[in-house]
Copies of this chain bind each other. A is one copy, B any other.
Amino acid sequence: MKANILTIGDEILIGQVVDTNSAFIAAELNKAGIKVQRIFSVGDEPDEIIAGLDLAGNNSDFVFVTGGLGPTRDDITKQTICKYFNSVLKLNDEVLDDIRAFIGKRGLTEISELNRKQAEVPDKCTVIRNTNGTAPAMWFEKTKTHFVFMPGVPHEMKGLMTDTIIPKIKNLFSLPAIVHKTVLTFGSFEASLAQILEDWHKQLPEGLKIAYLPGGGIIRLRFSMSGPEKQTIVNTINCELEKLHQIIPGIIFGYDEDTMEKVVGVKLAERNLTVSCAESCTGGKISSMITSIPGSSNYFKGSVIAYSNEIKTNTLDVNADDIIKHGAVSQCVAEQMAKGVQKLTGSDCSIAVTGIAGPDGGSPEKPVGTVWIAVSTNKRTISRKYVFGGNREFNILRASVAALNMLREELIQIN
């Protein structure tokens, strides 16, 4: 079966908001064995919504729609839906109860007129109740196509998809298997990697697709294959994965939903080791990445964000003369920062980064994007210089991922 996705909202068409809902819906559908054919975005105009529904509904088993179901005046989707499905709005008591319960959790007792209107739903749809917000989802059938309308607020849509809509679809239909497997690599360029893998690529079995997805210093290699029998596909992919490991053993660091921070966290936890960071140019990004992982408090002690030189000397015990002599962006300062934060927090390992994120602060010898990274363990302290040469956001991200990867490589040596 196949699906199309339609997102509604002028904010998408003027580029004010990035459409993250489509990616989530697409990922959930793929996991369930439904192929997404196309994604469409249209504006908050009745004619455009109708044109979008026609386009998305054409030759598709499902259409998943988000946006335009909020309580405010710019939300005209519901009226347009009624017209499209030849339906009328009726007050739904169950939905009204849900709205009352939801706003009650926020300490409100009185339902506003705008919230009350959200309890009015088209009479020809199946209502899917929303426990995370005030707008319910609505499911219609029209000439064999199922149309599912959801609110555009991401966490509401996500709750509806995973808790109710996907289970309902699995219940109603028998679906084929789609298997995706993603291999994460760090430390290569796309063209070089493709060249190394050229021969392997040529011998891949028919129907197995490979895509290269570069971003943030990481290249993701995605395997995709579909068929009637999941285990056959999994076996085919595993066989090719093994060959890949023979060709590029050093640069593979994870799979699928893994992130560098998650992989590092697992390696720390496995070894029962703790970590801390001393961040200058990354400004808290590495700590923020590490602590985005649930359970990171088991291995993350804390960090010092040492933007000013005084904090480097006073808190991290960096030698002030070394800063004068070699500059704050130097190998010896990076290594002293790593040792300093390790001592301060009592952690087993540490990461330190000092560099020039930009746009200002560069010099001919140390251009914007120059970064020194040090990693310290109970065994040794190592350091490496990078020149990323991008804009501020890019340099911060690249330095953070490179620093975490350096720790990952050191952890592999331990045990």
A interface residues, Cβ below 8 angstroms from B: 9-20, 22-30, 35-44, 48, 52, 55, 70-74, 105-106, 112-115, 134, 153, 155, 180, 182, 189-192, 194-195, 201, 209-215, 220, 222, 224, 277, 279, 282-288, 290-292, 294-297, 300-308, 310-311, 314-315, 344-346, 357-361, 389-394, 396
Task: Evaluate contact between A286 and B284: CB separation under 8 angstroms.
Answer: yes
Report yes or no: A311 in contact with B345, Cβ–Cβ below 8 A.
yes
Alpha-carbon distance A310/B213, docked complex (angstroms) = 42
The answer to whether A19 and B23 touch across the interface, beta carbons within 8 angstroms, is: yes
Contact at B10–A209, with CB atoms within 8 Å?
yes
Q: What's the least CB distance linking A108 to chain B, in Å?
A: 9
Instruction: Using CB atoms, name the residue of chain B closest to A306.
Output: B302
What residues on B are CB-neighbors of A28 within 8 Å? 15
Determine whether the beta carbon of B15 is less than 8 Å from that of A30. yes
Q: What is the bound-complex CA distance between A366 and B294, given in angstroms? A: 18
If over half of A's interface residues share one DSSP class (helix, strand or loop), that class is named, otherwise mixed; here it is: mixed
Instruction: Contact check, A72 vs B212: say whether CB atoms are below 8 A apart.
Output: yes
Q: Quick one: closest B residue to A20, CB to CB?
A: B18
Choose one: B38, B192, B279; the contact of A41 (CB below 8 Å): B38
Q: How far apart sit A339 and B285, CA to CA, in the bound complex (Å)?
A: 23
Within the complex, the shortest CB–CB distance from A362 to chain B, in Å, comes to: 12
Q: Which of B13, B29, B212, B283 is in CB contact (< 8 Å) with A290?
A: B283
- How distant is A189 from chain B, measured CB to nearest CB, in Å? 8
**Residues from chain B with Cβ under 8 Å of A292 in the complex:** 283, 392-393, 396
Contacting pair A23 B27 (CB below 8 A): no
**Complex Cα distance A360/B215, Å?**
31
Q: Is the CB of A30 within 8 A of B14?
A: yes
A–B pairs, 10, beta carbons within 8 Å: A12-B39, A16-B220, A37-B42, A37-B48, A38-B40, A39-B40, A73-B210, A114-B195, A153-B214, A291-B357
Q: Which residues of B contact A294 (CB under 8 A)?
A: 358-360, 392
B311 touches A307 (CB 8 A): no
